[in-house]
Structure 1
Amino acid sequence: MELIMEQLPIVIRSLNAGFLQTLKLFFVTLVGAVPLGLVIAFGSMSRFKPLSWLTNIIVWIIRGTPLMIQLMIIFYFPGLVFHNQIWRGNAGRFVAASVAFIINYACYFSVIYRGGIQGVPAGQEEAGLVLGMTRRQIFFKVKLLQMIKRIVPPMSNEVITLVKDTSLATTIALQEIIWAGESFMKGSQGISGVIWPLFFTAFYYLIFSGVMTVLLGRLERKLEYFR
């Protein structure tokens, strides 16, 4: 126990640095995937058939394959195939992970968006057209709020999943919190062969997931006002 107390400050500092990287990946993914998902949703519903077919095929591939494989392909493909490793250092690994996560979650979000948009009764769009509104006005003034109410619960589930999926970035040795906890098993900062830091990483994820669950739950309750 005395040895653990001596090691604790070193472990906490390392885990805090790793958790900061995890937070960055989480928020960068949301900032990129939320708008991109809407663009993909519009593409999948396009009346231009080649575009909708292509978009739906891409979404099918991304949703049908593991995120870990997508992450490894994006990171290793340039170096192994073109002999040009563009993802250099931990900063490069972070960018590679961000690209993989944004593409993956944007495809999942697009399906949720599409369900929310198509869930709005068609009669409302027809009424808007009769009143002389453009399709753009109908979307932003009639459909959007109703769509948001429908997509918040499934989007909340995806956001909570994203919290835990960030741990997959350790596959390409991104120095996030799992990497930091595992490093003490292999030997880091004079500490080796200890597993207890991994239990601390679980605590970080548990707290983060709990905070996000509470915040998203409050958002859902506020949106119930509009039902």
Structure 2
Amino acid sequence: MEFPGDILWHVSNMGKDSAPMESPSLQGDSKFSLLAGPLVNAFNDALAAHSPAVAKLLIRLLKLGKEQPIQLSHVLADEFQKVVTEEKNEELKNGRMGEGVGSCQELCIEAPSIGLAMRPLVGDWQYLKISASDKGSFEDSHFVQVDVSEYLAFKEGLVEGPRDVVDIMSTLELDLSPFSTHLPRLTRPKSIGNGVAFLKRQLSSKLVWQ
């Protein structure tokens, strides 16, 4: 039985996207090694080692949040650079927090709390939150990692106002995960943006085996 050439090619390449991601370029990339792992640890380490500088940054963000509670990523990067320059702290800039700041996608600010949506690597979203003490200081505070539901609830509260327990319990949530159980998933960064080719390869391989 003969198959079209493109189908044979798909069969020979079948399963490559499901294999563990082992990219030499990423393994040797210093930025990748800095961003690997939970960012909450990196931010807490920076807060402990450079408490005055990081606390100064967070207080500035709280002030900006009074004018605009939802800030874009460049705000954190700009304020971070200003603090590094003022404090002359290149060690903070060159550490994991310095790299992590560049992966921030969004800031949600409502005193005394600050929420950060981070994407350090492709498909890797992490959500952090920190709250100031009763005295308005961050030196005794620490970052915590929250799930996406808690982060979105905090963000929605900035627009709709705080919700009580009854409102949260009555919120309609749809769980669509059962419908995607058997769907192929992208696991390699190089596949991002090439979804059509990825699906074609997966569907062609199923057609051959059936």
Structure-2-length-normalised TM-score: 0.30
Higher relative contact order (CA 8 A, sep 6+): 1
| Structure (1/2) with the larger helix percentage | 1
| Structure (1/2) with the larger strand percentage | 2
Structure-1-length-normalised TM-score: 0.29
